[in-house]
């Protein structure tokens, strides 16, 4: 859950960890119950952040623990599209392979995430 105080949006520890690629900290936070599919301002999930920064091991961890791969940010991008736009080919290949074996849940996943934070 995001914390909002006087118009300032604070990120969760897992959002920061996913952005920075700190795998051991992410494992600890997830093990302690951190929510995987929280959206920050701009509708970015932890997976969007890790994918856009090219953190392949973080992307794998988040997906293994249940991160939704087809949530869309405010630009209409999935984590795969964010990784592609930033030129992170290893992440792109991993997400393409994962998605080809798992199917898609795009719009309903994004709606469910937004509904859970309102």
pLDDT value at residue 103? 61
Kindly list the domain boundaries of the chain, sorted by start residue: 3-117
pTM of the full predicted structure?
0.80
pLDDT digits (tens, 9 = 90+) for 55-111: 999 999 999 999 999 999 989 999 999 999 999 999 999 999 999 988 654 434 443
Q: Return the CATH fold of 3-117.
A: 1.25.40
* Contacts (Cβ under 8 Å, ≥6 apart) of 46: 14, 15, 18, 36, 37, 38, 62, 67
């Amino acid at each position: 859950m995001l914390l909002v105080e006087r118009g300032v949006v604070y990120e969760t520890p897992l959002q920061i960890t996913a952005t920075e690629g700190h795998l051991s900290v992410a494992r600890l936070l997830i093990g302690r119950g951190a929510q995987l599919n929280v959206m920050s301002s701009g509708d970015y999930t932890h997976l969007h952040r890790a994918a856009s920064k090219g953190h392949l091991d973080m992307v794998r961890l988040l997906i293994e623990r249940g991160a939704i791969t087809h949530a869309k940010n405010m630009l209409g991008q999935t984590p795969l599209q964010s990784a592609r736009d930033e030129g992170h080919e290893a992440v792109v290949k991993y997400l393409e392979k994962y998605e080809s074996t798992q199917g898609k849940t795009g719009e309903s996943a994004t709606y469910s995430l937004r509904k859970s934070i309102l």
